[in-house]
Protein backbone atom coordinates (compact mmCIF):
# COMPACT_ATOMS: atom_id res chain seq x y z
CA UNK A 1 0.00 0.00 0.00
CA UNK A 2 1.26 3.46 -0.89
CA UNK A 3 2.05 5.79 2.02
CA UNK A 4 -0.53 8.46 2.82
CA UNK A 5 0.54 11.59 0.88
CA UNK A 6 3.01 13.74 2.80
CA UNK A 7 1.38 16.72 4.50
CA UNK A 8 3.44 19.85 5.17
CA UNK A 9 1.58 22.85 6.49
CA UNK A 10 2.79 26.25 7.70
CA UNK A 11 -0.17 28.11 9.13
CA UNK A 12 -1.32 30.77 11.59
CA UNK A 13 -4.17 28.48 12.65
CA UNK A 14 -4.28 25.86 15.37
CA UNK A 15 -4.33 22.17 14.46
CA UNK A 16 -6.36 19.18 15.65
CA UNK A 17 -4.09 16.31 16.71
CA UNK A 18 -6.90 13.72 16.66
CA UNK A 19 -8.01 14.71 13.15
CA UNK A 20 -4.41 14.66 11.89
CA UNK A 21 -3.88 11.20 13.43
CA UNK A 22 -7.06 9.94 11.74
CA UNK A 23 -5.74 11.13 8.36
CA UNK A 24 -2.80 8.70 8.75
CA UNK A 25 -4.79 5.70 10.02
CA UNK A 26 -8.30 5.71 8.54
CA UNK A 27 -8.94 3.22 5.74
CA UNK A 28 -5.65 1.42 6.47
CA UNK A 29 -4.81 -1.84 8.21
CA UNK A 30 -1.04 -1.76 7.86
CA UNK A 31 -0.31 0.95 10.45
CA UNK A 32 1.01 -0.44 13.72
CA UNK A 33 2.42 2.73 15.26
CA UNK A 34 1.79 6.45 15.18
CA UNK A 35 4.27 8.62 17.05
CA UNK A 36 3.07 12.14 17.79
CA UNK A 37 5.24 15.03 18.83
CA UNK A 38 3.40 18.20 19.64
CA UNK A 39 5.30 21.24 20.81
CA UNK A 40 3.46 23.77 22.96
CA UNK A 41 4.16 27.28 24.20
CA UNK A 42 5.11 27.29 27.91
CA UNK A 43 4.81 30.33 30.16
CA UNK A 44 8.33 30.03 31.64
CA UNK A 45 7.05 30.16 35.25
CA UNK A 46 4.64 32.97 34.48
CA UNK A 47 7.19 35.32 32.89
CA UNK A 48 6.12 34.82 29.27
CA UNK A 49 2.88 36.22 27.86
CA UNK A 50 3.31 35.04 24.26
CA UNK A 51 5.70 33.72 21.66
CA UNK A 52 5.75 35.49 18.33
CA UNK A 53 6.81 33.14 15.54
CA UNK A 54 8.30 34.68 12.42
CA UNK A 55 8.98 32.55 9.33
CA UNK A 56 10.33 32.76 5.81
CA UNK A 57 7.28 32.08 3.62
CA UNK A 58 8.12 29.66 0.83
CA UNK A 59 11.42 28.52 2.24
CA UNK A 60 9.78 27.30 5.47
CA UNK A 61 7.56 24.90 3.52
CA UNK A 62 10.40 23.93 1.15
CA UNK A 63 12.83 23.17 3.98
CA UNK A 64 10.26 21.15 5.94
CA UNK A 65 9.63 19.16 2.76
CA UNK A 66 13.36 18.52 2.26
CA UNK A 67 13.65 17.19 5.84
CA UNK A 68 10.45 15.12 5.51
CA UNK A 69 11.59 13.63 2.18
CA UNK A 70 14.84 12.53 3.82
CA UNK A 71 12.89 10.88 6.66
CA UNK A 72 10.67 9.07 4.12
CA UNK A 73 13.80 7.77 2.43
CA UNK A 74 15.40 6.58 5.66
CA UNK A 75 12.45 4.90 7.39
CA UNK A 76 9.61 2.71 6.07
CA UNK A 77 6.81 5.12 6.98
CA UNK A 78 3.17 4.71 6.02
CA UNK A 79 2.51 8.40 6.55
CA UNK A 80 4.06 11.64 7.74
CA UNK A 81 2.61 15.02 8.73
CA UNK A 82 4.47 18.18 9.72
CA UNK A 83 2.58 21.30 10.79
CA UNK A 84 4.24 24.47 12.09
CA UNK A 85 2.39 27.59 13.21
CA UNK A 86 3.47 31.21 12.95
CA UNK A 87 2.19 34.46 14.49
CA UNK A 88 1.31 35.15 18.13
CA UNK A 89 1.04 32.00 20.22
CA UNK A 90 -0.04 32.11 23.88
CA UNK A 91 1.12 29.77 26.67
CA UNK A 92 -0.75 26.48 26.45
CA UNK A 93 -1.27 26.73 22.69
CA UNK A 94 0.20 24.45 20.05
CA UNK A 95 3.29 25.44 18.04
CA UNK A 96 4.35 22.39 16.08
CA UNK A 97 3.13 18.91 15.22
CA UNK A 98 5.00 15.95 13.77
CA UNK A 99 3.16 12.68 13.17
CA UNK A 100 5.03 9.65 11.91
CA UNK A 101 3.18 6.43 11.12
CA UNK A 102 4.70 3.04 10.39
CA UNK A 103 4.06 -0.69 10.67
CA UNK A 104 6.39 -0.86 13.69
CA UNK A 105 7.20 1.58 16.47
CA UNK A 106 10.97 1.99 15.98
CA UNK A 107 10.72 3.64 12.57
CA UNK A 108 7.96 5.95 13.76
CA UNK A 109 9.87 7.00 16.91
CA UNK A 110 13.10 7.62 15.04
CA UNK A 111 11.53 9.49 12.14
CA UNK A 112 9.65 11.78 14.52
CA UNK A 113 12.80 12.49 16.55
CA UNK A 114 14.83 13.12 13.37
CA UNK A 115 12.19 15.49 12.00
CA UNK A 116 12.18 17.60 15.17
CA UNK A 117 15.99 17.76 15.41
CA UNK A 118 16.34 19.01 11.83
CA UNK A 119 13.28 21.20 11.98
CA UNK A 120 14.79 23.07 14.94
CA UNK A 121 18.13 23.72 13.26
CA UNK A 122 17.15 24.03 9.55
CA UNK A 123 13.58 25.26 9.17
CA UNK A 124 13.47 29.08 8.92
CA UNK A 125 11.40 30.04 11.97
CA UNK A 126 12.36 32.48 14.72
CA UNK A 127 10.79 32.93 18.14
CA UNK A 128 10.39 36.21 19.93
CA UNK A 129 9.39 36.17 23.60
CA UNK A 130 6.87 38.69 24.88
CA UNK A 131 7.17 39.12 28.64
CA UNK A 132 4.39 39.53 31.20
CA UNK A 133 6.26 42.02 33.41
CA UNK A 134 7.03 44.59 30.72
CA UNK A 135 6.29 45.55 27.15
CA UNK A 136 9.69 44.20 26.26
CA UNK A 137 10.13 41.49 23.67
CA UNK A 138 13.33 39.61 22.95
CA UNK A 139 14.51 37.16 20.30
CA UNK A 140 15.18 33.64 21.52
CA UNK A 141 18.79 32.58 21.01
CA UNK A 142 19.54 29.33 19.24
CA UNK A 143 20.83 26.56 21.50
CA UNK A 144 24.02 24.75 20.58
CA UNK A 145 22.44 21.63 22.13
CA UNK A 146 19.97 21.67 19.22
CA UNK A 147 22.88 21.50 16.76
CA UNK A 148 24.32 18.60 18.78
CA UNK A 149 20.97 16.82 18.58
CA UNK A 150 20.93 17.21 14.80
CA UNK A 151 24.46 15.81 14.39
CA UNK A 152 23.33 12.56 16.05
CA UNK A 153 21.88 11.62 12.65
CA UNK A 154 25.23 11.86 10.95
CA UNK A 155 24.57 9.71 7.93
CA UNK A 156 22.07 12.38 6.92
CA UNK A 157 22.65 14.13 3.59
CA UNK A 158 21.10 17.40 4.73
CA UNK B 1 18.46 40.59 -6.91
CA UNK B 2 15.84 40.41 -4.17
CA UNK B 3 17.36 40.48 -0.68
CA UNK B 4 15.36 39.56 2.42
CA UNK B 5 16.07 39.96 6.12
CA UNK B 6 14.40 38.13 8.98
CA UNK B 7 14.06 38.43 12.76
CA UNK B 8 16.60 40.80 14.35
CA UNK B 9 18.31 41.36 11.01
CA UNK B 10 15.03 42.79 9.70
CA UNK B 11 14.69 44.98 12.79
CA UNK B 12 18.27 46.22 12.74
CA UNK B 13 18.35 46.99 9.00
CA UNK B 14 14.83 48.42 9.16
CA UNK B 15 14.13 46.47 5.97
CA UNK B 16 12.22 43.26 5.28
CA UNK B 17 12.95 43.12 1.58
CA UNK B 18 14.72 45.17 -1.09
CA UNK B 19 16.10 45.00 -4.62
CA UNK B 20 19.87 45.22 -4.89
CA UNK B 21 22.11 45.66 -7.90
CA UNK B 22 25.12 43.54 -6.97
CA UNK B 23 28.42 45.38 -7.24
CA UNK B 24 30.98 43.67 -9.49
CA UNK B 25 33.19 42.68 -6.54
CA UNK B 26 30.43 40.84 -4.67
CA UNK B 27 30.46 37.11 -5.41
CA UNK B 28 29.59 35.31 -2.18
CA UNK B 29 27.14 35.69 0.67
CA UNK B 30 30.00 36.88 2.88
CA UNK B 31 30.98 39.50 0.27
CA UNK B 32 27.40 40.75 0.22
CA UNK B 33 27.22 40.94 4.03
CA UNK B 34 30.44 42.95 4.22
CA UNK B 35 29.20 45.28 1.48
CA UNK B 36 25.80 45.76 3.17
CA UNK B 37 27.53 46.37 6.51
CA UNK B 38 29.08 49.56 5.14
CA UNK B 39 25.75 51.12 4.13
CA UNK B 40 24.70 52.73 7.39
CA UNK B 41 24.56 52.26 11.17
CA UNK B 42 21.59 49.89 11.05
CA UNK B 43 23.24 47.58 8.54
CA UNK B 44 26.53 47.82 10.39
CA UNK B 45 24.77 46.70 13.59
CA UNK B 46 22.84 43.94 11.78
CA UNK B 47 26.01 42.48 10.27
CA UNK B 48 28.36 43.16 13.20
CA UNK B 49 29.04 39.41 13.52
CA UNK B 50 28.68 38.03 9.98
CA UNK B 51 29.98 34.58 10.97
CA UNK B 52 26.83 34.09 13.05
CA UNK B 53 24.43 34.86 10.21
CA UNK B 54 22.78 32.20 8.05
CA UNK B 55 22.25 32.62 4.34
CA UNK B 56 19.76 31.19 1.87
CA UNK B 57 19.99 31.50 -1.92
CA UNK B 58 16.72 30.86 -3.76
CA UNK B 59 15.26 29.48 -0.53
CA UNK B 60 17.98 26.89 0.15
CA UNK B 61 20.65 27.08 2.84
CA UNK B 62 24.10 27.98 1.49
CA UNK B 63 27.50 28.49 3.09
CA UNK B 64 28.90 32.03 3.39
CA UNK B 65 31.56 31.31 0.76
CA UNK B 66 29.09 30.02 -1.86
CA UNK B 67 28.69 32.01 -5.09
CA UNK B 68 25.34 33.83 -4.99
CA UNK B 69 25.67 35.92 -8.16
CA UNK B 70 23.12 33.78 -10.06
CA UNK B 71 20.49 33.74 -7.30
CA UNK B 72 17.19 35.55 -7.81
CA UNK B 73 16.63 35.80 -4.07
CA UNK B 74 19.09 35.90 -1.17
CA UNK B 75 18.02 35.92 2.48
CA UNK B 76 19.94 36.69 5.66
CA UNK B 77 18.74 35.51 9.06
CA UNK B 78 19.90 34.51 12.55
CA UNK B 79 20.26 30.84 13.58
CA UNK B 80 16.79 29.33 13.58
CA UNK B 81 14.71 28.85 16.72
CA UNK B 82 11.52 27.15 15.53
CA UNK B 83 9.94 23.97 16.79
Q: Is some CB atom of chain A closer than 8 A to the CB atom of B2?
A: no
CA distances from A84 to A8, A78, A129 (A): 8, 21, 17
pTM of the entire predicted model: 0.95
First to last CA, chain A: 28
Mean pLDDT taken over chain B? 98
Torsions phi, psi for A131 (to 5 deg): -95, 150
Q: Check pLDDT > 90 for residue A144.
A: no
Q: What is the CATH number of the domain that holds A119?
A: 3.90.1170.40
Q: Helix, strand, or coil here: B29? A: helix
In this predicted model, what pLDDT tens digit does every residue of A101-131 receive, in sequence order?
999 999 999 999 999 999 999 999 999 999 9
Distance from CA of A120 to the nearest CA of B (A): 5
Q: Band of the pLDDT at A148, cuts 50, 70, 90? A: confident
Confidence of residue A156 (pLDDT cuts 50, 70, 90): low
Could you tell me the pLDDT band of residue A146, with boundaries at 50, 70 and 90? confident
Q: What is the pLDDT of residues B34-73, one digit of tens each?
A: 999 999 999 999 999 999 999 999 999 999 999 999 999 9
Looking at residue A147, what is its pLDDT?
86
DSSP state at residue B51: G
Instruction: Please give the distance of CA A77 from its chain centroid, rounded to a whole number.
Output: 16
What's the whole-number mean pLDDT along residues B14-26? 97
Say if A156 falls within a structural domain.
no
Cα B49–chain centre separation: 12
Q: Do B80 and A39 touch (CB under 8 A)?
A: no
Is A90 inside any structural domain? Answer: yes
pLDDT at A107: 98
Q: Is residue A158 part of a domain?
A: no
Distance, CA of B51 to CA of A146 (rounded, Å): 18
ipTM above 0.85, yes or no: yes
Expressed as residue numbers, the domain containing A131 is 7-151
A157 inside domain: no
Please report which confidence band the pLDDT of residue A158 belongs to, taking 50, 70 and 90 as the band edges. Answer: low
* Nearest CB to B83 within list A56, A58, A120: A120
The answer to whether B83 contacts A123, with C-beta atoms less than 8 Å apart, is: yes
Amino acid sequence: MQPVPLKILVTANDFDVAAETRRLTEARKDVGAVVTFSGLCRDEAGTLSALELEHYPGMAEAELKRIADEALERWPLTGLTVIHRFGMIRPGENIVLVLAASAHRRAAFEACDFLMDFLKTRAPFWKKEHLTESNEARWVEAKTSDDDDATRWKKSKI
Amino acid sequence: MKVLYFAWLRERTGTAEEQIELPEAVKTGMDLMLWLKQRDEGYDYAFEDPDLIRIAADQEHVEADADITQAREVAFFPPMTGG
